[in-house]
A and B are shown apart, each in its own frame.
Chain A
Amino acid sequence: MAQIELAGIERTFTLGDSRVHALRNIELAVSAGEYLAIMGPSGSGKSTLLNLLGLLDRPDAGHYRLEGRDVTALSGDEQAAVRRDRIGFVFQSFHLVPRLSAAENIALPLMLSGMPPAERDARVARALHDFGLESRARHRPEELSGGQRQRVAIARATIMQPAMLLADEPTGNLDRHTGQEVTELLEALNAGGTTLIVVTHDPAMGARANRRLMMEDGAIVDDVLASDMTR
């Protein structure tokens, strides 16, 4: 059984008088542990698809089954719980809370889950160690470099050990070298079994994925497995 199953997903936005068809009849199945890149020009609907996969947005029609469970029918707070426990987000602009230290930002999902502070601190300490941020634990985001900020964001996204990691242009605000590091970090997590879905403009980054979705005008126009291409 696929981890993610999308069937007949439709999503339209109303912008002024015009209706924008952001997603058209999306059919998609993603297995656990896959490494998927969603590519396409601006406005092709890839971010909308990612938001939908992350339960930040609801489809107008169709069904989304996550780990066998229809999550489109869940209430807002039930979806919040699914996001907290099963999904990790990495954003282009990092989205760190500016007044909180690196450690506190990483601890946010644990705090929201109501975990006791002692257990929380231990998990955060391990994450800081794993991501090489030990010396930066007390620093606030403005005192960190772009690469460090994104590492904090990834640590935060993975602290709950989610089933899938959704990254929206994770290297978009980074230079080539740090972007490379962040990509390798995400791939290492994928190698550990976490499903990784990346939205990107960058063909080089897209080329690293095992599976590539090409989107155009809200529809999936191409779905390529890397193993097929090498053949």
Chain B
Amino acid sequence: MTPADTLRFASRAAAAYPLRTALMVLAMSIGVAAVVVLTALGDGARRYVVDEFASLGANLIIVLPGRTETGGVNPGSFITGTPRDLTVADAAALTRAPLVHRVAPLSVGNSEIAVGGKLREVMVLGTTSDYAGIRLLDLNQGRFLPPEADKQASAVAVIGSLIRKELFGSEPAVGRMIRVGDRRLRVIGVLAPAAKGLGMSHDELVIVPVATAQAMFNTNTLFRIMAEASSREALIPAQRQIEQILQARRDGELDVTLITQDAILGTFDRILGALTLAVAGIAGISLAVAGILVMNVMLVAVTQRTGEIGLLKALGANTTDIRNAFIVEALLLSLAGAAAGYGLGQAGAWVIRLLWPVLPAWPPDWAVIAGVGTALATGLVFGVMPARRAARLDPVQALSRRGG
């Protein structure tokens, strides 16, 4: 039997039992679709988190006051007292690090904002002009904090888009006076909407010069310092330079914590990658179930067609012919199932993207290849046993049964 004939014979056989074929293709396609959809979900979640962190701005180093020990309790935990605060002077010192490109001190507090009769709670962020560059902020109107305001408590403010909408409506905001806490500030800019990152939306923020914020909250400490390394490769050495500078300024004690988005990102990437794999494994079980179904159905087919197998043997078919015909039939069914499942899975992922537009639920290439590949492999592996049984049938006994 030539390969083309085997293929034609097997496809005719598969087509001759439409209900059986449809059910098996359905089972196989559900397995493949499950792999495609679940990995799309897992990978979508991973990409969502990665994007979220990437929007922080690249090459970012965040300095936190206090040392976070990950080794549990050690003798040092009892000796060291409260950590020294971060100050504006620390931030200014960091600009001297050769690999640090930009530095922005962050002072944060809650206050009230009032315009005309309208009043609302608001988060106030005190920082410097470089903050816009580090966080890649765009302005809709006006301008960001001017560099001249970095060192003095100027009475200016940049407001988020949502604040502008709620307090000014359709009126122009730039140039207007607002009251924040007990201070009157002039609005000099409005941020573009949808600047996101780390759960802190810039849409509901009022940004003022750092000195203004510190005066407002009557403090001289900082919440964070954000520093930007000059390049991605400089991230690690820049971190070391920052540590050296701060250590020197703190009598040799390094009581600050440095976080890079790379580290956070790497961790999340690994966690969610593992999650995706686990989910794919679970979906793989349904593929294995489908494989056993393939075997079951093919065994039934062998029984159903015993008479036909006996006939083919009487007509001169050798064992290879018969085995190949049944394996090819199992493969064809699996292939149809894999193709249908791939389509079904892509449709499912599309529906997920439609329902949750923020989630980039695209099935990863490896999952698609693995899903379809596994389906074919299962078809082959689970098709071999029934095919061998068919090939081994005794022609006399096979013929005496009225199978065909």
Residues of A in contact with B (beta carbons under 8 Å apart): 51, 54, 56-57, 76-77, 80-81, 83-85, 89, 91, 93, 95-100, 108-109, 111-114, 116, 156, 160
Contacts and interface: CB of A to CB of B under 8 A. Distances in A.
A93 B308 CA distance: 12
Interface string B294-314: 000000000000011011111
Contacts of B74: none
Contacts, number: 69
B317 interface: yes
Contacts of A100: 12
A189 B263 CA distance: 87
Contacts of A77: 318-320
B311 A97 contact: yes
Interface in B318-345: 318-321
Given A56-B399, A100-B12, A81 B404 contact: no
A97 B314 contact: no
Contact of A111 (B9, B307, B396): B9
Contacts of B321: 112
27 contacts: A54-B314, A56-B314, A77-B318, A77-B319, A80-B316, A80-B318, A80-B319, A83-B313, A83-B315, A83-B316, A89-B315, A95-B307, A95-B404, A96-B404, A97-B308, A97-B404, A98-B16, A98-B404, A99-B13, A99-B16, A108-B315, A111-B5, A111-B9, A112-B315, A112-B316, A112-B321, A156-B315
B80 interface: no
A80 B312 CA distance: 10
Contacts of A81: 316, 318
Contact of B2 (A51, A91, A114): A114
B319 A111 contact: no
A57 B318 CA distance: 15
Please provide the 4 A-B residue pairs with the shortest distance between their CB atoms, ordered closest to farther.
Answer: A84-B316, A99-B16, A77-B318, A80-B318
Contacts of B12: 99-100
Interface of B: 1-2, 5, 9, 12-13, 15-16, 307-308, 310-321, 395-396, 399, 402, 404
Contacts of A96: 404
Nearest to A115: B2
A57 B15 CA distance: 33
B317 A80 contact: yes
A81 B311 CA distance: 14
B135 to A, nearest CB: 69
A114 B402 contact: no
Nearest to A116: B2
Contact of B396 (A51, A84, A156): A51
B237 to A, nearest CB: 71
The CB with the most chain A CB atoms within 10 A, among B312, B316, B319, B321, is that of B316
B314 A112 contact: no
Contacts of B318: 76-77, 80-81
B396 A56 contact: yes
Contacts of A85: 316
A100 B15 CA distance: 11
A175 to B, nearest CB: 20
B316 A111 contact: no
A156 B316 CA distance: 12
Contacts of B16: 98-99
A51 B315 CA distance: 13
Nearest to B392: A76
Contacts of A95: 307, 310-311, 314, 399, 404
A101 B2 CA distance: 20
A113 B316 contact: yes
Nearest to B321: A112
A36 to B, nearest CB: 19
Contacts of B312: 108, 112
Given A77-B318, A99-B16, 15 more contacts: A56-B314, A56-B395, A57-B396, A81-B316, A84-B316, A89-B314, A95-B399, A96-B404, A98-B404, A99-B15, A111-B1, A111-B5, A112-B315, A113-B316, A114-B5
